[in-house]
Each structure stands twice: as C-alpha cells, then as structure tokens.
C-alpha cells in the first residue's frame, strides 16, 4: 500500500522538477515584490515537504534509486528552500517554516541553509513531523492573528500525503498556496478501470469527497445490447488525468476564490502528465500572475 501511494516511479530531479521549481520561484519573486509595498503584513513562507536540500539521498527506496544523476547535476541542484532564500533584490519573507517527516533530512537542510540564515532577521524554524499536523497549526495561528500574517504555502510531496481537511483548515486565512498533485503518477492508478476502488479511503481523504462522489466524477454507466439482452457496464471517463486535475482545482475553489483551473502540467520524458502544479489564492492579481507564469514556463 505504501509504495503505490507514496513512491511513484518517476525520476525526481528530471526536467519536470526544474520546471516546477522555476515556476514557483518566479511566483515568489512577484509575490514578495507586491508584499514589499505592503509593509503592514508580516510574511510567512511555509514549506510543507521541504526535503534535505539535496537532490541525491542515501534513501534506498526504488524512487530514489532511479535518480541516476551526475555529481555535477547534484552540486547544481537548488531546491525550493534555497531558491526562496536567494531571490534577487533582497526579496525575503519575514518568517520561514520548513517541515519534513524525516528528521535527518531537516538536519541536512538546516546545515545547508546555515550561511543563508545569517542574512535573515528571524531564525528559520525546522519542524519535523507530518505536514498535515503542521498545516493545522499554521491555520490556527493565522486565524488567531488574522490581520497580521500573510503566508505563502508550498506543498511539494511525492504522493498523496495531504489530507483534504488540512487544506480546508486554511479557509479564511490570507494564504496563497501551490500544491503538487500526483494526478498521473498515483491518483489515476488508484482509479481502477472497472471502478473497483481498493484505495477508496485514501481517495476520499485526498479529495474530501465520498466514495459515491468520486465514482460519479470518474465513471459512467453504459448499456449494451447483447445476445442475452441489455447489459450495463461501468466505464472510466476518457482523459482521467486531466479530470483529476480539474476536480482538485474545483475542490480548491470551495476554499479560495481564485484557482488556476488550467494548472501547470508536468510531464515525464514520454510526454505523459505525471503531476499538476495547482495554485490558489483569494487575490485576483495573484491568480493573474500565476497564470502568466504557467503559460511562460
Ligand atoms: C519531493 S521531496 C521535497 C523536495 C523539496 N521541496 C525541494 O524543492 O527540494 C518530498 C519530501 O517530503 C517528505 N515527506 C513525505 N511525507 C511527508 C509528510 N507526511 N509530512 C512532511 N514531509 C513528508 C519526504 O521526507 C521528502 O523529503
């Protein structure tokens, strides 16, 4: 169960990773440029799946074993955390939170960022544990300080680790969010061709929908006349991967006013979509910027 949900067989560190991180860094620059003129808000960067800051890891899971990258590439890699901390024109958040389930990865990240820490006013917070728990804490803190904090949240997992209720907790907070949705690489694989949803609970907690609602979104019934009379078959929709991205965007629209209904599509080397990178905000200009970035990368 764990492997199908959390270890998609894609090459992390491939072109799609760079496209995703470039798009995100562009958005962060635009966001901070706007927030700089708005000194009233204290800005928070919340990185829910921060990683170790390295592309290569000693992890022996099949996913990591596939990395196959050169030493040169490894040295050049700049993850989201490092990119956010080295933006041009001294653009910076006030507070930085880095979350990761693996304590040793966070330690590595802390070491890697130690020089950059000296350039920032407030100490970085490294928070080990499940991102879902930390998202609930963030939401609560933001609600208690409603007119003080604006946060930009990056959720960049490999798999389906994010529960809908964690996303939902951010309702009515001043939060902009980018989420990597494993549309092609995992969710589509859980949507069995004949509607046999063995991972129904995972799908339900991911979308925040009931099994019936999920079935309605991805399956339809068709009748065929056979020698033995009319028979009904349950079929999966065509273009399910695009449908997953659309449904997730629709779900986000129940929390945020502005969502990229055409998210950034990230493909493997064969042109098959593996992830969609979705943006949501309550600010119309923010959506306009995100859409322009998605078109340009
Ligand atoms: C794709 S990597 C992050 C890459 C990183 N954003 C970057 O730009 O280099 C995913 C990370 O999520 C962590 N992770 C997996 N499940 C998690 C969870 N439930 N909560 C927090 N972190 C988790 C893994 O340990 C891994 O380091």
pLDDT value, residue 56:
61
Residues in the ligand 1 pocket, defined by CB under 6 Å: 21, 49-51, 79-80, 99-102, 105, 130-131, 156-158, 161
What is the per-residue pLDDT across 120-142, written as a single tens digit (0 to 9) for each?
A: 999 999 999 999 999 999 999 99
Q: Which residues of 92-130 are buried (b: 16+ CB within 10 A; e: fewer)?
A: bbebbbbbbebeebbebbbeebeebeeeeeeebebbeeb
Q: Does the pLDDT at position 1 exceed 80?
A: no
> What is the number of the ligand 1 atom nearest to the C-alpha of 54?
9
Of the listed ranges 73-77, 117-121, 219-223, the one predicted with least confidence: 73-77
Q: In 3-state terms, the chain is what percent helix, strand and coil (to 5)? A: 45, 20, 35
Identify the structural domains of the chain with CATH numbers, from first to last: 2-183+256-296 (3.40.50.150)
Ligand 1, atom 17, residue with closest C-alpha: 101
Ligand 1, atom 4, residue with closest C-alpha: 51
Q: SS3 for 32?
A: helix
pLDDT value, residue 14:
65
Q: Does the pLDDT at position 65 exceed 90?
A: no
Ligand 1, from 17, 27, 49, 101: best to mutate by most atoms within 8 Å of Cβ?
49
Strand 258-259, strand 219-226: pairing? unpaired
Average pLDDT, the chain: 91
State if pTM tops 0.85.
Answer: yes
CA atoms of 297 and 293, how far apart (whole Å): 6
What is the per-residue pLDDT across 167-213, written as a single tens digit (0 to 9) for each?
A: 999 999 999 999 999 999 999 999 999 999 999 999 999 999 999 99
Q: Does the pLDDT at position 68 exceed 50?
A: no
> What is the number of the ligand 1 atom nearest to the C-alpha of 49?
12
> What is the number of the ligand 1 atom nearest to the C-alpha of 52?
27
For residues 24-34, give the mean pLDDT: 98
What is the per-residue pLDDT across 92-107, written as a single tens digit (0 to 9) for each?
A: 999 999 999 999 999 9
Of the listed ranges 8-17, 31-40, 134-143, 238-247, the one predicted with least confidence: 8-17
pLDDT value, residue 67:
37
Give the relative orientation of helices 240-252 and 211-218 as an angle to the nearest 10 degrees. 130
Of the listed ranges 16-20, 153-157, 276-280, the one predicted with least confidence: 16-20
Q: How confident is the model at residue 77 (pLDDT cuts 50, 70, 90)?
A: confident
> What is the number of the ligand 1 atom nearest to the C-alpha of 161?
19
């Amino acid at each position: 169960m764990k492997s199908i949900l959390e270890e998609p067989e894609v090459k992390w560190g491939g072109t799609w990773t760079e496209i995703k991180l470039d798009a995100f860094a562009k958005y962060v620059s635009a966001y901070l440029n706007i927030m700089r003129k708005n000194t009233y808000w204290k800005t928070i960067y919340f990185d829910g799946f921060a990683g170790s800051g390295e592309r290569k890891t000693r992890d022996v899971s099949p996913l990591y074993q596939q990395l196959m990258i050169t030493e040169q590439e490894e040295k050049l890699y700049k993850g989201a955390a490092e990119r956010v901390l080295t933006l041009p024109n001294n653009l910076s958040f006030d507070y930085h939170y880095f979350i990761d389930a693996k304590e040793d990865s966070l330690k590595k990240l802390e070491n890697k960022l130690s020089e950059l820490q000296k350039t920032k006013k407030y100490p970085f917070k490294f928070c080990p544990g499940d991102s879902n728990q930390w998202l609930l804490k963030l939401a609560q803190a933001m609600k208690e300080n409603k007119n003080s904090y604006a946060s930009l949240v990056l959720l960049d997992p490999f798999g389906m680790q994010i529960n809908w209720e964690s996303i939902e907790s951010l309702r009515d907070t001043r939060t902009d969010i980018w989420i990597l949705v494993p549309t092609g690489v995992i969710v589509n694989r859980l949507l069995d061709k004949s509607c046999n949803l063995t991972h129904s609970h995972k799908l339900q907690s991911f979308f925040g929908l009931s099994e019936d609602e999920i079935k309605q979104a991805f399956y339809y019934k068709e009748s065929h006349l056979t020698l033995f009379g009319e028979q009904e078959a349950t079929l999966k929709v065509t273009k399910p991967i695009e449908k997953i991205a659309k449904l997730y965007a629709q779900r986000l629209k129940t929390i945020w006013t502005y969502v990229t209904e055409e998210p950034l599509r990230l493909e493997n080397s064969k042109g098959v979509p593996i992830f969609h990178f979705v943006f949501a905000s309550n600010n119309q200009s923010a959506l306009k910027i995100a859409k322009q970035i998605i078109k340009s990368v």
